[in-house]
Structure 1
Amino acid sequence: MEQVRIARIFNTYGPRMCIDDGRVVSNFVAQALRKEPLTVYGDGNQTRSFQYVSDLVEGLMRLMEGEHVGPFNLGNPGEFTMLELAQVVQETIDPNAKIEFRPNTEDDPHKRKPDITKAKDLLGWEPKVPLRKGLPLMVSDFRQRIFGDHKAEGASTATSLV
């Protein structure tokens, strides 16, 4: 009988994401690059956690190559409010970018934070790339794809990490 390994993947960001996929990180990055206001829903105090794609890949590899079965949460337990995320995107792309507040949806959870204790204990895995280091790599990729700028800073670095 085969043993099944299950990964529960939490918010992941990085180069090569679909630019208009509706996810908050790609939305904010695309909006800032296009000089559009960053759209924050509600008061912006709801939290999410974000992991860089190379951290996810490392976690998946450890899970697949390991002997442990069952569900493993693969995500970053570090939390950011949506307003903090918008501010980090502002700092990274355009300090003059506007933040626009819109009414929140009823079904928007106030908090999302993975418990990665099992992944840490059994796989020896935890995310390593902080948002402020991973985000510029994603921005470089998005900038190149949106504007066709082949000289985008860090573009070769961004693609080599994925």
Structure 2
Amino acid sequence: MQRVLMVDVDGVLITGRPEDGKSWATDLEADLGVPLGPLQDRFFAPHWDEIVTGVKPLRPTLDEALAEINSGLSVTTFLDYWFTRDARRDEGLISALQRARADGLRVLLATNQEPTRARYLWDTLACPRSPRRCSAPLIWAWRNRHRGSLPPPWPTPVPRQRHIF
């Protein structure tokens, strides 16, 4: 029987701000003028479960929330800030996983993130230099996607495995 280890990407392999590991939203108000409380109340609390499961689209829902809190920001600017600030790769964990793979353990990385974030994790953080040369599969497990109306983040057919390191 083959031994397998599955590791979550967002929050485990990718852990907060690149410079210190703190939450991406630590300086949100100082940097962009967006107070976290109203953002939580108008975007994350009422909509995130439906966004991450594919029932609601990210961009229009976020655009509406940003307008409600009078941020003046575009969705693109906000997402760029969010994704680049939540982008610290745990190099120690990556090294440990590489050693485990060398010892014969099959290592799988998984995420249930919304498609835009999942694509960013893959394209930018997971294997930015050469996707074909990465060597640990990423399993994208978009929860309940059969109930949602949104397409997966990759062209059909959806790859069930992508290689990370």
TM-score relative to the length of structure 1? 0.24
**Greater strand content:** 1
